[in-house]
Structure 1
Amino acid sequence: MGEVTFTWEDPTELAKKFLHLDSDDRKKFYLDLKHKPPIGELMNFKGVEVDEEGSVTWIASPQEYHYNPLGNVHGGFAATLLDSCNSITANCALDKGFLTMTAEIKVNYLRGISLETGDMFATGKIEKLGRKVIFVSGKLTDGQGKVYATANSTEIVVEIK
């Protein structure tokens, strides 16, 4: 039987830091892995990339503790990676005092994931940026670019006072 221990920074302190950043500084915030949220530890987030268009890619590798009783990685691993990258993509498009929350996500599973799959790359792209709602699409690929899952998200924009 395996065992894993996680440590993390207080997520409320991370949120306080994040809320006061503009769009460019939010991207830098995520590039700095010392600000990894608790879910990042659980999901084994290994890195993040942000391109010029604002797409965000989370990099994670499946672990044995992500397995389901059927002997492969649970679908929640893919869904969580896609939700994280889509949400962060939307949040990096906003300015100080605003954030998004996922209102809806639809995930399509195309292939099974195992330890042998290796690093997974979840990339989000804004399809429509509105004042109240942001629509984001995401895809989960392996290191060779093979697509394992896709997702479409609706992100609600919230003003924080």
Structure 2
Amino acid sequence: MTQHNTVLVSSNDATPATLAHWKSEEAAVRARLSAPGVASPEQIQGLSGMEIFEAIFRGELPFAPIGETAGIWPIQASHGGFIFQGTPSPAFFNPMGTLHGGWIAMILDSAVGCAVQTTLPATAAYTTAELKISYIRALTPKVERVRAIASVLSAGRQLGFAEARLVDAEGRLYAHASTTCLVMPRR
């Protein structure tokens, strides 16, 4: 399992520092990103999955438009791992005043899928074949930021398996996801 350089703590005293660190990392990433969009086949030709994310983080390729719409941002990519950070917005609250499960599913699906993509060669692409989510606790307006931290469990020529945890700055678990991704030739 890939280790990620992210700050997760459980001490209430450290939470403001962790949250400030998370916000600082997000601001630095957002300053480097180009406009949202979809890369053309010519732009990604010959690039591995990891190389595509390196180019996105350098601002050389666009990042997915859904991220800006949903308030989720790529924070870190490593071979077999990915971190997305999200800001729970009232625009995605359900009638009970908690964050809609679909937003949680989106950030987790993004993290596990991108983690699998980091392991792919330039000749391969993927699609989600299965996504399972366990919701642990409600995500309320009091939570300023969450992180979906994903790791690949196994990456093969035909299938990739990954899992992710959705946590707040105190390390509280809100949801857990696992995925099976179908690996296929890139066109």
Aligned partner of 1:55 in structure 2 is: 81
The correspondence of residues 108-123 of structure 1 with structure 2, limited to 5 A, is 108-123=134-149
User: AA paired with 2:159?
Assistant: V
Cα displacement (A) at 1:25? 1.3
Q: TM-score under structure 2 normalisation? A: 0.74
Of 84, 101, 105, 2:127 maps to 101
1:104–1:155 Cα contact (<8 Å) kept: yes
Matches within 5 A, 1:64-83: 64-83=90-109
Whole-angstrom CA distance in 2 between matches of 1:29 and 1:134: 22
Q: Could you tell me how far 1:158 is from its partner in structure 2?
A: 1.2
CA RMSD of aligned residues (A): 1.9
1:34-69, CA deviations, whole angstroms, 9 ceiling, x for partnerless residues?
722121012212341124x53100011111101111
User: Which residue of 67, 73, 80 maps to 1:46?
Assistant: 73
- The residue type paired with residue 143 of structure 2 is T
Percent identity of paired positions between Structure 1 and Structure 2: 24
Kept in 2: contact 1:19–1:98 (CA 8 A): no
Aligned to 2:26: none
* TM-score (structure 1 length as normaliser): 0.84
Structure 2: 5+ residue stretches without partners = 1-34
C-alpha change, 1:19 and 1:148, in structure 2 (3 Å) is farther
For 1:140 and 1:55, how far apart are their aligned partners in 2? 14
Cα drift, residue 23 of structure 1: 4.0
Moved over 4 A (4+): none
1:155 — aligned with what?
181
Q: Is the 8 A contact 1:30 1:48 kept in 2?
A: no
What are structure 1's unaligned runs of at least 5 residues? Answer: 1-7
Q: In 2, Cα distance between the equivalents of 1:88 and 1:30? A: 12
Number of aligned positions between the proteins = 151
